[in-house]
Structure 1
Amino acid sequence: MSRDRYVDFLRAWAIVLVVLGHWLITALVREPGGQITAPELLAVVPWTQWLTLAFQIMPLFFLAGGHAAGGSWSRARAAGGKAAGWLGRRALRLLLPVGAYSGLVLLAVGVCSAAGVDADTLALVGWAMAMQFWFLPVYLLLSALTPLLYAAHRRWGLLVPSAAGAVALAVDVLVVTAHVPYAGLLNYVLVWGVAYQLGFCWRDGLLTGRRLVPFAMAAGGGVAFAALVALGPFPVSLILVTGQTTSNTNPPSAAMLAWVVAQVGLCLLAAPPVRRLLDREPVWRVVRPVGAASMTLYLWHMLPVLAVAAAFYLTGLAPEPGLGSAAWWGLRVPWLLILGVVLAGVVSALGPLERGLVVLHERTSPDAGLRRAWPLWLGLAMSVAALARLAVQGFAPDGRFPVLPAVGLASGTALVMLTRWTAAPRLDRPSGARAPGRV
């Protein structure tokens, strides 16, 4: 089956908007003492919370991920592959670049800590470099559950995301009314899992067989979101804002679930004209490399902010009009352009590392059959726990080196890589067939 260009476009579009959104709302201020602070634009200028409606695009990333995973798992299963082997390859595709990124950042944290860099500054930088990590443990969990989720999809179809959404609503009631915060952890998998499961449904034609379905999703989800914001306890902001007692993302709320449904509906409505546009080779030649570099862009996009902060703010060269003023917004244009140029340079410089990771992936990815799968599952559990902790605390909590998350991520990734050497010879060859390299 040929790749769906629209699915690749959605991943690229989601990453680009995440990067631009983070850059747009990042505000830097040089204090009289010379230290750099980062006031929270969404809290200081409340109307900017409406901008998150345009930049909270992660539902589409999970939707595209579900679409791609459903097709990949179907093909692997048809070829006789096992869940552990399939998952190992997909997990390493994420863990290897994340491990390389984390290793380099942790090395810098260790050097800066030993050099006596101010703890508060180090903690802020460590948080900025890990702010995007919340997505990784959720995506790894959904990937691990894909064989079960896809089996449920094949049996019950749209009832699966409907049931997951209903449970997510019940969980959110507990969080908002009974103040049971830990129950909300389930909604990271349930709400984003709805988008992931809808990717299965989209791929198998359950969302596009009737023309009214995308309209109903877009309109129904949009109306539900507006009602929950206007009449309920939920803020309009689709990312966490300091001082708000109820958040739409921490954990994902009923309003975020409504936004997922609305955004998926809009995505389906936009598919035909965008596909026609992507069929034009000049357009596709622009989109394809962005999609190919999506993980690099996602992981490294805050490094240019630190570089520009050091070059222009620490030196006092950057003009600093009032936060949210007309002059401040006018300076967002050169700010975004400079960050884009720096990020392009970072991506170019990382080319040899990216190519090395591709080779490493091919040399360490497990085969279809595994003699023992326990290293994979243990490694995934350790990696998910380590990434979740880094997402919450950053790379330098309280200015300290995060020993346990660093060891957990390194050990977890190594265990997943070790599954290649626990792989058994393929047993699904026809009778009389020869194993490769054997007589």
Structure 2
Amino acid sequence: MSRDRYVDFLRAWAIALVVVGHWLITVLVRGPGGEITAPELLAVLPWTQWLTLGFQIMPLFFLAGGHAASGSWARTRAAGGTASGWVARRASRLLLPAGVYSALVLLAVGVCAAVRVDPGTLELVGWAMAMQFWFLPVYLLLSALTPPLHAAHRRWGLGVPVVLGAAALAADALAVAVHVPYVGLLNYVLVWGIAYQLGFCWRDGLLTGHRATAPAMAACGGVAFAALVGVGPFPVSLIRVTGQSPGNTDPPSAAMLAWVVAQVGLCLLAARAMRRLLDRERVWRVVSPVGGASMTLYLWHMLPVLVVAAAFYLTGLAPQPAFGSAAWWALRVPWLLVLGVVLAGVVAVLRPLERGLAAVHERIHRDADLHHPWPLWLGLATAVAALTRFAGQGFAPGGRLPLPPALGLALGALLVVLSRRTKPRDAEKPDDVLEEAA
């Protein structure tokens, strides 16, 4: 089966909006003493929470990921490959770049802590560099669960996301109404897992076999979201806002589930027109590089903020109109443009590293199979725990180097990457290397 350009576009589009969204809500203010603070835009200007309806695009990221994983696992399974071998290949595609990124950031944190950089500033920077990490443990878990989830899909089809949806609603009800917060954590896997599972259904035609499916999903999801926000207890913001309880993303709520359904429906409605557009080579030449650099963009997109902060805010060169004024919003345009230029430079500098990691990944996984599966599963558990810790506390909690999660991520990544041995057998087609894990 040839690659679906629309699926690749969804991944590229999601990455682009994540990057721009994070940049847009990042606010830097230079105080009278030269200190830099970062007010929370969504909390200080509550009307901006409506903007998150356009920037919360992660449902499509999981949808595209499920579509790609479904095809990759189906080919591996047909060729006689094992679930453990497939999971190891997919997991290492995420953990190699994430591990290198974390190592470099932690090295910088260690140096800054050694030279006595202000702990508060270091903690803020460490949080900014880890704010996107929530996605990685969730996606690793869904990748590990892909074989059984796909088996359930082959047997029950659309019944699987329906059951997952009922479980997500029950978990959210317990978390919100009965105040059992830990049950709500299940929705990280349940809600985003529904989008992932719908990717399976989309690939197999279960969402496109009837003309009414897409508009029904868009309409029902939209109405449910409006009701849960307008009448129910949930806020409109689809991004976390400090002090907002209940929220919609930490963990995903019933309102986020409704948004998943609505967004998938809108995606299906746009598919035909977008595929015609993407068939134009000029358009595809713009989209393709973004998808190819998706992990690099996702991991490194906050580094330009630090570079620009040092160059323009610490030096006092950046103008400082009143926060939220018309002049301040007008300056968001050059802010985004400058960050885009810096990020392009970062991607160019990192391209040799990106190619080197791809080569290492292929060298490890070419003609290889698992010797024993236990290092893989132990490594995955350790890596997920470490990434979850980074996502929650950043790379410098309290302005200090977090050694336990750092060692945990290193150990977990090594166990996953080195859990294979050379064997004259490859269960995956060569073109599977083109499939992005995310």
Which category describes the TM-score, using the shorter chain as reference length? over 0.9
- Residue identity matched to 1:122: L
Specify the alignment match of 2:436 in structure 1.
Answer: none
Specify the alignment match of 1:243 in structure 2.
Answer: 243
Specify the alignment match of 1:332 in structure 2.
Answer: 332
Distance 2:346 2:424 in 1: 41
Native 8 Å contact 2:56 2:238 kept in 1: yes
Shift of the alpha carbon at 1:368? 6.0
Distance 1:60 1:149 in 2: 18
Native 8 Å contact 2:92 2:413 kept in 1: yes
> Within 5 Å, which residues of 2 pair with 1:248-327?
248-327=248-327
Specify the alignment match of 1:139 in structure 2.
Answer: 139
> Within 5 Å, which residues of 2 pair with 1:81-160?
81-160=81-160
SS in structure 1 opposite 2:388? helix
Shift of the alpha carbon at 1:70? 0.3
Distance 1:331 1:369 in 2: 53
Native 8 Å contact 2:366 2:426 kept in 1: no
Native 8 Å contact 1:375 1:416 kept in 2: yes
Specify the alignment match of 1:21 in structure 2.
Answer: 21
Specify the alignment match of 1:431 in structure 2.
Answer: none
Native 8 Å contact 2:369 2:420 kept in 1: no
Specify the alignment match of 2:352 in structure 1.
Answer: 352
Shift of the alpha carbon at 1:143? 0.2
Q: Deviations over 1:123-180 (max 9, x none)?
A: 0000000000000000000000000000000000000000000000000001111111
Specify the alignment match of 1:223 in structure 2.
Answer: 223
Distance 1:316 1:338 in 2: 16
Q: Deviations over 1:233-277 (max 9, x none)?
A: 000000110121110000100000000000000000000000000
Shift of the alpha carbon at 1:32? 1.6
Distance 1:341 1:424 in 2: 45
Native 8 Å contact 1:366 1:419 kept in 2: no
Native 8 Å contact 2:368 2:420 kept in 1: no
- Residue identity matched to 1:300: W
Specify the alignment match of 1:185 in structure 2.
Answer: 185
SS in structure 2 opposite 1:210? coil
SS in structure 2 opposite 1:316? coil
Specify the alignment match of 2:363 in structure 1.
Answer: 363
Give the TM-score, by structure 2 length: 0.96
- Residue identity matched to 1:328: W
Distance 2:380 2:366 in 1: 14
Distance 1:254 1:149 in 2: 21
Of 276-285 and 364-373, deviating more is 364-373
Native 8 Å contact 1:365 1:419 kept in 2: no
Distance 1:338 1:427 in 2: 45
5+ residue gaps, structure 1, are: 429-439
Distance 2:210 2:57 in 1: 25
When the two chains are superposed, the root-mean-square deviation of aligned CA atoms in Å is 1.1
Q: Deviations over 1:292-343 (max 9, x none)?
A: 0011000000000000000010011111111111011000000000000000
Give the percent of matched residue pairs that are identical in Structure 1 and Structure 2: 78
SS in structure 2 opposite 1:107? helix
Shift of the alpha carbon at 1:369? 3.7
Q: Deviations over 1:16-49 (max 9, x none)?
A: 0000000011100111221111000000000000
Distance 1:154 1:183 in 2: 28
Q: Deviations over 1:97-124 (max 9, x none)?
A: 1011111100000000001000000000
Native 8 Å contact 1:80 1:368 kept in 2: no
Distance 1:5 1:103 in 2: 33
- Residue identity matched to 2:56: Q
Distance change >3 Å, CA 185–CA 366, structure 1 → 2: farther
Distance 2:367 2:122 in 1: 41
Shift of the alpha carbon at 1:365? 2.5
- Residue identity matched to 2:266: L
Specify the alignment match of 1:433 in structure 2.
Answer: none
Native 8 Å contact 1:85 1:366 kept in 2: no
Shift of the alpha carbon at 1:2? 0.5
- Residue identity matched to 1:87: V
Distance 2:54 2:225 in 1: 14
- Residue identity matched to 1:251: P
Distance 1:74 1:382 in 2: 27
Distance change >3 Å, CA 427–CA 33, structure 1 → 2: closer
Distance 2:132 2:374 in 1: 29
- Residue identity matched to 1:68: A
Distance change >3 Å, CA 262–CA 304, structure 1 → 2: same
Specify the alignment match of 2:418 in structure 1.
Answer: 418
> Within 5 Å, which residues of 2 pair with 1:399-438?
399-421=399-421, 426=425
Native 8 Å contact 1:168 1:187 kept in 2: yes
Native 8 Å contact 2:371 2:420 kept in 1: no
The answer to whether 1:205 aligns with 2:205 is: yes
